[in-house]
C-alpha cells in the first residue's frame, strides 16, 4: 500500500529528514571536537559559516516533523475504511505490529524536535553561540530517533495489506480487556476528572508561576509532561464518553472523525502545543546560567511558559465545554 499519496508524502518527509541529518552528522562531530569561538583561524571561520547551513537545515527538518505528526494521525484515521473491521485510526494502526510504535516514535520525535528548536532559538540569539556544541550533540542523538521513526513507518506502511481483519477501538479500549489502555479506560470518571483538572491546574499554575518569577522551571516542565499524560487519561476515561454520548466507547481517535465534527483536533492541537512549550521551558533551564544567555533564556522561557499556560487552560476549557454540551450523564 505504498501508493497512497499521504503515505508517499510522509515517507518522503521522513526520508529527506534522515538524509539531511545524516549529511549534517560528520559536521556535527567536527563542531563538537574543534569549535573554539575565541579562535580566529580559517577553520573556525569555515565552521561558523557552516553552522548557519546546518542550523537552518536542522530547524527545517524539525519543523517538518511537527507537521508530519498531524499528517500521520490524519492519514491513519482516513485509511480506516480500507481495512476490514477498522473504524478509526486504532484499527489502521493495529493492522500490523508496527502501527502504534510508529505513532509513539513520531510523537517522541515531535517533542524532541520541539525541545531542540527551543534550544536552537536561544542559541542563535546570543552573540557568541554558547550552545553550539550541545546543540549538535543533541542533533546526533536525534538522528537515530528520526531514523528509527522512518524505519518504523516504512515497516508499517509496507506491511499494510488491505484484506487484514483488525480489531477496532471497541475491543482495545473497553473496560473488560487487558492491557494498559484498557486499565486506563476502566478508570471511573470521577477520579479521572479529579486527575485531569488537578494536573491541568498544577501545570497551568506552575508555568504561570515560572513566567512571573523565572523559578521552578524543571517543575513546570515535569508538570507539563504529567498534564499531557493526565489529559490522555482523561480523554480515554471521560471526555470521549461525553463526546460520543455513550457510556462504553472510550476511543481517543474516533473523536477526530468528521462524524464528531473533528472535535479531537480542538483538544489535541492545544494539548500538544502546550506540552511542547512546557517541555521547552525545561530544556532551556540548564543554560540559564550561561553568561551570554542570562537575558535571553528568561525572556524566551517566559514566553514559552505563557504559551503553555494558555494552552493548558484552553485544553481544560475545551474539555469542559465538550462535557457541558453533552447529553450524557455520568455523574449523578
What's the grid cell of residue 26? 560528520
| Burial (CB count <10 Å: 0-12, 13-18, 19+), residue 74 | middle
Question: Does 22 sit near another protein (CB under 8 A)?
Answer: no
For another protein, the closer of residues 112 and 307 by Cβ is 307
Question: Does 30 sit near another protein (CB under 8 A)?
Answer: no
Shortest Å, Cβ 231 to another protein = 23
Of 216, 213, 212, nearest to 224 by C-alpha is: 216
Which region, judged by CB under 8 A, interacts with another protein, from 50-58, 96-104, 223-231, 322-330?
50-58
Shortest Å, Cβ 71 to another protein = 5
Question: Does 310 sit near another protein (CB under 8 A)?
Answer: no
State the DSSP string of 153-167.
Answer: HHHHHHT--TT-B--
Shortest Å, Cβ 193 to another protein = 31
Shortest Å, Cβ 4 to another protein = 5
Grid coordinates 527551543 are at which residue? 118
The dihedral region occupied by 124, where left means phi > 0, alpha psi between -120 and 50, and beta the remainder, is alpha
What's the grid cell of residue 40? 580566529
Give the CA-trace dihedral at 201, 204, 210, 211, to 10 degrees.
-140
Query: What Cα–Cα distance (Å) separates residue 287 from each residue in 41, 122, 263?
Result: 27, 9, 38
For another protein, the closer of residues 60 and 317 by Cβ is 60
Query: What Cα–Cα distance (Å) separates residue 154 from each residue in 68, 91, 245?
Result: 14, 18, 37
Shortest Å, Cβ 46 to another protein = 10
The one among 9, 104, 141, 190 contacting another protein by CB under 8 A: 9
Shortest Å, Cβ 120 to another protein = 12
The one among 34, 39, 56, 248 contacting another protein by CB under 8 A: 56
For another protein, the closer of residues 1 and 148 by Cβ is 1
One character per residue 126-165, x = contact with another protein (rule: CB under 8 A): ------------------------------------x---
Shortest Å, Cβ 229 to another protein = 27
Positive or negative: CA dihedral 170, 174, 178, 183 = positive
Rounded to an integer, what distance in angstroms lies between the CA atom of residue 147 and that of residue 17?
A: 9
Question: Does 57 sit near another protein (CB under 8 A)?
Answer: yes
The one among 47, 62, 75, 304 contacting another protein by CB under 8 A: 75
What's the grid cell of residue 102? 510508529
Grid coordinates 521551558 are at which residue? 281
Which region, judged by CB under 8 A, interacts with another protein, from 13-21, 25-33, 91-99, 140-148?
13-21
Rounded to an integer, what distance in angstroms lies between the CA atom of residue 202 and that of residue 316?
A: 12
Grid coordinates 473523536 are at which residue? 255
Q: What is the DSSP letter of 4?
A: -
Question: Does 249 sit near another protein (CB under 8 A)?
Answer: no
Question: Does 2 sit near another protein (CB under 8 A)?
Answer: yes
Residues near another protein (CB under 8 A), total: 33
Question: Does 220 sit near another protein (CB under 8 A)?
Answer: no
**Under the rule (CB under 8 A), what is the footprint of another protein?**
1-10, 12-13, 16, 20, 49, 52-53, 56-57, 60, 64, 67, 70-71, 74-75, 78, 81-82, 84, 124, 162, 303
Amino acid at each position: 500500500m505504498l501508493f497512497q499519496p499521504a503515505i508517499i508524502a510522509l515517507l518522503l518527509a521522513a526520508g529527506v529528514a534522515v538524509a539531511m541529518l545524516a549529511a549534517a552528522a560528520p559536521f556535527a562531530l567536527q563542531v563538537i571536537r574543534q569549535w573554539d569561538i575565541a579562535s580566529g583561524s580559517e577553520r573556525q571561520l569555515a565552521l561558523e559559516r557552516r553552522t548557519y547551513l546546518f542550523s537552518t537545515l536542522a530547524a527545517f527538518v524539525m519543523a517538518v516533523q511537527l507537521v508530519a505528526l498531524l499528517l500521520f494521525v490524519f492519514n491513519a484515521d482516513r485509511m480506516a475504511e480500507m481495512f476490514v473491521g477498522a473504524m478509526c485510526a486504532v484499527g489502521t494502526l493495529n493492522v500490523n505490529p508496527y502501527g502504534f510504535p510508529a505513532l509513539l516514535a513520531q510523537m517522541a520525535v515531535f517533542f524532541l524536535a520541539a525541545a531542540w528548536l527551543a534550544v536552537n532559538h536561544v542559541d542563535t540569539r546570543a552573540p557568541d553561540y554558547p550552545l553550539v556544541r550541545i546543540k549538535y550533540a543533541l542533533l546526533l542523538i536525534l538522528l537515530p530517533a528520526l531514523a528509527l521513526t522512518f524505519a518504523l513507518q516504512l515497516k508499517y506502511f509496507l506491511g499494510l495489506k488491505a484484506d487484514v481483519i483488525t480489531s477496532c477501538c471497541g475491543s482495545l479500549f473497553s473496560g473488560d480487556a487487558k492491557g494498559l489502555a484498557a486499565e486506563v479506560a476502566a478508570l471511573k470518571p470521577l477520579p479521572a476528572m479529579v486527575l485531569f483538572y488537578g494536573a491541568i491546574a498544577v501545570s497551568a499554575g506552575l508555568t504561570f508561576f515560572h513566567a512571573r518569577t523565572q523559578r521552578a522551571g524543571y517543575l513546570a516542565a515535569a508538570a507539563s509532561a504529567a498534564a499531557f499524560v493526565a489529559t490522555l487519561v482523561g480523554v480515554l476515561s471521560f471526555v470521549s464518553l461525553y463526546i460520543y454520548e455513550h457510556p462504553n466507547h472510550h476511543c481517543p481517535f474516533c473523536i477526530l472523525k468528521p462524524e464528531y465534527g473533528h472535535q479531537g483536533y480542538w483538544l489535541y492541537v492545544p494539548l500538544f502545543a502546550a506540552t511542547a512549550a512546557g517541555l521547552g521551558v525545561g530544556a532551556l533551564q540548564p543554560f540559564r546560567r550561561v553568561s551570554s544567555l542570562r537575558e535571553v533564556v528568561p525572556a524566551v522561557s517566559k514566553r514559552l511558559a505563557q504559551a503553555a499556560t494558555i494552552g493548558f487552560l484552553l485544553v481544560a476549557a475545551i474539555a469542559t465545554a465538550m462535557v457541558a454540551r453533552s447529553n450524557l450523564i455520568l455523574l449523578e
